[in-house]
Amino acid sequence: MADSRDEPLVLGIETSCDETGVGVVRGTTLLADAVASSVDEHARFGGVVPEVASRAHLEAMVPTIQRALKDAGVAASDLDGVAVTAGPGLAGALLVGVSAAKAYAYALGKPLYGVNHLASHICVDQLEHGALPEPTMALLVSGGHSSLLLSTDITSDVRPLGATIDDAAGEAFDKIARVLNLGFPGGPVIDRYAREGDPEAIAFPRGLTGPRDAAYDFSFSGLKTAVARWIEAKRAAGEEVPVRDVAASFQEAVVDVLTRKAVRACKDEGVDHLMIGGGVAANTRLRALAQERCERAGIRLRVPRPKLCTDNGAMVAALGAEMVARNRAASDLDLSADSSLPVTEPHVPGAHAHTHTHSHDHVHEVAKDNLYS
């Protein structure tokens, strides 16, 4: 059995939205997952404020990195690479993480890997369930994304099959929670109320499920509007809004469409497993319905534990470790944040970057060569 110390040790930094996440991974083993959240600072605004998020990242960055290294029981000098979310995400927030990663990589003489946020959400499952099958079918659902992705190599080949054409699933949860006066963020509170409601109480619409609609694309804007109007009509008539039934029926409409399309994609592409990631993957009803439908279709379901579904540094470190293990080219130190980085680019290789044969001394020498070339 190979010595685990021969596997790449990578620090990952995630700042695409309101979570300052720092993870340390050795190969496919999670050593530390430190998170500093600024969600409470955004709650009074009913959503994430980019400038507030960026300032919170600045304040949290160094202590969160120090905490992650301490939790992992490793020194910064032990690292084989530094990975960071280069996009997509909020431009200002991304810049804080990218700047920090470049500073650490330069100071330590380690290779830098700018990676894709969405590909990282897929790769994090390796920390829980082992190496990803190839190809991998992934359903990613979060506040900013609802996507069906097919990957034959998480470090170089991720193909989008479908995506939301308007609101993402998580965004719809936030908006309906706001209409119901349940606060922010909406996902966890809707999930909680829905457990005590009837998912069949109200027949809310299922977007883009007609025979002529795009097979794998999603739309939640119409659903959001239908739920809001239903609530407004009740209030206008002076009737009490059955919050739990509304939450359950709305949630059922969302997860019904997500799971139906994901299982269909697996069947159409001949893939016998499905990975679900992103913040909404923590939703208990989504997990239950996906499990039920996958079992019926003979599909194996892989869903990381809830803490690994939300934005975190562990997922970035996981993809960074895979980049090192597969000798992918490192990024240049003039790496830029790209708020709209396409998922077809799992990482951003440098124009003059070398590939890295994994060993502590060689990685260090090649990194120094990159710095001074």
Specify binding-site residues for Fe cation. Answer: 117, 121, 311
Q: In what order do the strands lie in the sheet with 347-348?
A: 29-37, 19-26, 9-14, 81-87, 112-116, 347-348
Residues 266 and 171: their CA atoms lie apart, in Å, by: 25
For residues 25 and 317, the answer to whether their CB atoms sit within 8 Å is yes
Start-to-end CA distance of the chain, whole Å, equals 38
Q: DSSP letters of 133-165?
A: PSSEEEEEESSS-EEEEEEEETTTEEEEEEEBS
Among 333, 321, 326, 330, CA closest to 354 = 330
Crossing angle between the packed helical segments 169-179 and 221-236, to the nearest 10 degrees: 10
344 membership: H or E segment, kind and range: none
Beta-bridge mates of residue 14: 21
> Beta strands of the chain (E only): which ranges?
9-14, 19-26, 29-37, 81-87, 112-116, 136-141, 146-153, 157-163, 273-277, 300-302, 347-348
Structure tokens belonging to residue 95:
């810049």
* Neighbouring-strand partners of residue 23: 12, 33
What sign does the dihedral 195-200-202-208 (CA atoms) show? positive
| Binding annotation for substrate | 140-144, 174, 187, 191, 283
Give the residues across from 20 on adjacent strands: 36
Three-state DSSP state, 273: strand
- Binding-site positions read 117, 121, 140-144, 174, 187, 191, 283, 311
- Give buried/exposed letters for 235-247 (b at 16+ CB in 10 A, else e): eeeeeebbbbbbb
